[in-house]
Structure 1
Amino acid sequence: MEQVTLHGDGISATIVGQGAELVSLRDAEGTELLWQAGPAWRRHSPVLFPIVGRLTGDQLRHQGRSYPMTQHGFARDKRFTWAEQGPRSCTLVLTDDADTRAHYPFAFRLAVSYSLGQRQLGVTFEITNTGEEPLPASIGAHPAFNWPLLPDLPKTAYQLAFADNENAPIRRLRDGLLLAAPQPTPVEGKRLALSERLFDEDAVIMDRPVSSSVRYAADRGPAIEMSWQGFRELGIWSKPGGAPFLCIEPWHGLASPADFDGEFIDKPGVMLIEPAAKRVLSYQVRLL
């Protein structure tokens, strides 16, 4: 089975087995809210696992050995197994195999679940350590929404409104790695004005945001509220130079600091899951 389409009250979602990726999210009127993987960026909403961002030299170091690991990890390019499927929900599973262990020498089970309710999509990540040593991992969501949501509105008509004031400095990247020096936040109180220039220096990274929800909206037309549980960081990204999508990304993990080249288990932002234990993280997209 390549894909399923779930139907809720005033919402529908399509998920594919490749990468357990959400590829369509429509409201009651059939308006497509998710970026449709055009030439500017060939993905919709990839699952980032077992890393978020880049590692130094694209190498994962464990017990003195190096393993090749490209940006955002391998889950987005792996075919998941369909574990459950119903009219409003589904679960897909990825487990370690010879290919994953060549890049990531750990045993794991990653389950990605989607469920629809009243104008709301819920997404749950469940990471289980099926091995005998602590499992170091990061995970992130990367949904790309159309920007603008209404084609006749300018991009600058949109803003992000956070649940709480976000006054802390942000982090930025250079060559995909985390710069040491924080930068002043572009968020004014609870409001982040959106423009293409915001992403000239790549993603806006909020390290430990106070808020656990944000609203993406203009003065009219469709609007979206995202909320999340278990994630510690938030990335906001569009392709530098301009592209018709906006990514709102709850993360547990970050790119490697530019000056870090140590063991993966020691990398800032990595969660450690004990043998037989699991971690559950989730986010919701509510159509307003």
Structure 2
Amino acid sequence: MTDEVGPLPDLIRLRSAGLTASINTFGAELTSLRDAGGRELMTDADPAFWTGHAPILFPIVGRLNDDVLRVDGREYRMKQHGFARRQTFSPVARDDASVTLRLSANEETRAIYPFDFVLDVHFSIAGATLAIEARIANPGAVPLPASFGFHPAFAWPLPYGRPRDAHRIVFADDVPEPVERLAEGLIAGDRPSPLNGRTLHLADDLFADDALIWNPVRSQSVTYGADHGPQLRVDFPDTPQLGVWTKPGAHFVCIEPWHGHADPQGFTGEFRDKPGVFKVAPGRERRCTIAITLER
């Protein structure tokens, strides 16, 4: 669902009694999350499938039609999921259990996205929970149109001895049909829901046609893992869409809370009018959060 990211890492490590997180300043990307026993809970980043770990999606989520972003009649070229994951963030605050990484508008970003912004990504770790909060601030004089998404790739199977086909994702609340489908990266209508009640039983053939997309998701939490043993709870109170994605045969599954999504097929309008885009008023900010908790 996304292409490769990242030069050699400059890692920041956060620790608690229950978890250790490693974060790359390139892209503000979570690259590792280990339990107290040192077991890896995230993707193995096998280059045969996908080398990403948890890219930050900004200022778009998914693909634009023909990779074109339109602002006030002008056209700008932007690759899938935006540019934040290919930019180096600067630490602006740090201690043993938290760090805030910042990306501000610069010459390179303004060439493809003609807006001022400050994107802070704050990571904090406590006990068995890693929390990530993105703050999208508008220091400019005009409304800031944007989308934002998280894209963490968790180990499938998790490292607790259960087989791959025993893993599932369970929604905390009922999620009505249908789900959206993609064609060449663009929203192309609906497909039947693969849920059994609130449960998505993971299998490779679910992803033969790319991601599963709930829009809106109508649940702010899911639990991922096998039918027995430790599981991951993922809470996302501020994002109205959810994508679930992998490549068949890969050793990861992505649980992706989004505020925004790919262009619908045929969309050629202004970016600010695209479905899923929010607008930040001058001098204000928008926050999106995700919390990942290891439950035993």
Place the TM-score, normalised by the shorter chain, in its bin: over 0.9
- Spell out, residue by residue over 1:1-44, the C-alpha distance to the aligned partner (whole angstroms, 9 max, x if none): 92211011211101111000101101111110011322111110
Deviates more, 1:241-250 or 1:68-77: 241-250
| 1:83 maps to amino acid | V
**2:291 — aligned with what?**
284
Would the aligned equivalents of 2:44 and 2:252 in 1 still touch at CA under 8 Å? Answer: no
2:162 is the alignment partner of 1:129:
no
| 2:249 maps to amino acid | G
**1:229 — aligned with what?**
237
SS in 2 for 1:265: helix
**2:201 — aligned with what?**
193
| 1:202 maps to amino acid | D
Alignment of 1:94-105 (within 5 A): 94-105=103-114
> For residues 218 and 179 of structure 2, what CA distance do their matches in structure 1 show?
12
Q: CA deviation at 1:150?
A: 2.9
Alignment of 1:1-288 (within 5 A): 2-39=10-47, 40-150=49-159, 152-179=161-188, 181-239=189-247, 241-288=248-295
Deviates more, 1:181-190 or 1:112-121: 181-190
> For residues 186 and 19 of structure 1, what CA distance do their matches in structure 2 show?
32
The runs of 4+ residues in structure 1 deviating greater than 6 Å are none
Would the aligned equivalents of 2:179 and 2:213 in 1 still touch at CA under 8 Å? Answer: yes
| 2:63 maps to amino acid | R
Q: CA deviation at 1:173?
A: 0.4
> For residues 263 and 181 of structure 2, what CA distance do their matches in structure 1 show?
12
Q: CA deviation at 1:222?
A: 3.0
Would the aligned equivalents of 2:13 and 2:20 in 1 still touch at CA under 8 Å? Answer: yes
- Spell out, residue by residue over 1:53-102, the C-alpha distance to the aligned partner (whole angstroms, 9 max, x if none): 00011010111111110000000010001111100000000000110011
| 1:167 maps to amino acid | P
Q: How many residues align?
A: 286
> For residues 34 and 163 of structure 2, what CA distance do their matches in structure 1 show?
21
Question: Gaps spanning 5+ residues in structure 2: where?
Answer: 1-8
Q: CA deviation at 1:111?
A: 0.1
> For residues 225 and 250 of structure 2, what CA distance do their matches in structure 1 show?
17
Q: CA deviation at 1:152?
A: 4.7
Would the aligned equivalents of 2:41 and 2:159 in 1 still touch at CA under 8 Å? Answer: no
TM-score normalised over the length of structure 1: 0.97
Over the aligned positions, Cα root-mean-square deviation in angstroms equals 1.2
Question: Gaps spanning 5+ residues in structure 1: where?
Answer: none
Would the aligned equivalents of 2:40 and 2:159 in 1 still touch at CA under 8 Å? Answer: no
Would the aligned equivalents of 1:167 and 1:187 in 2 still touch at CA under 8 Å? Answer: no
Q: CA deviation at 1:156?
A: 1.4
> For residues 225 and 42 of structure 2, what CA distance do their matches in structure 1 show?
14
| 2:241 maps to amino acid | E
| 1:218 maps to amino acid | A
- Spell out, residue by residue over 1:239-284, the C-alpha distance to the aligned partner (whole angstroms, 9 max, x if none): 1x32110000000001000021111011000001111110011010
> For residues 223 and 210 of structure 1, what CA distance do their matches in structure 2 show?
21
Would the aligned equivalents of 1:150 and 1:222 in 2 still touch at CA under 8 Å? Answer: no
Would the aligned equivalents of 1:54 and 1:256 in 2 still touch at CA under 8 Å? Answer: yes
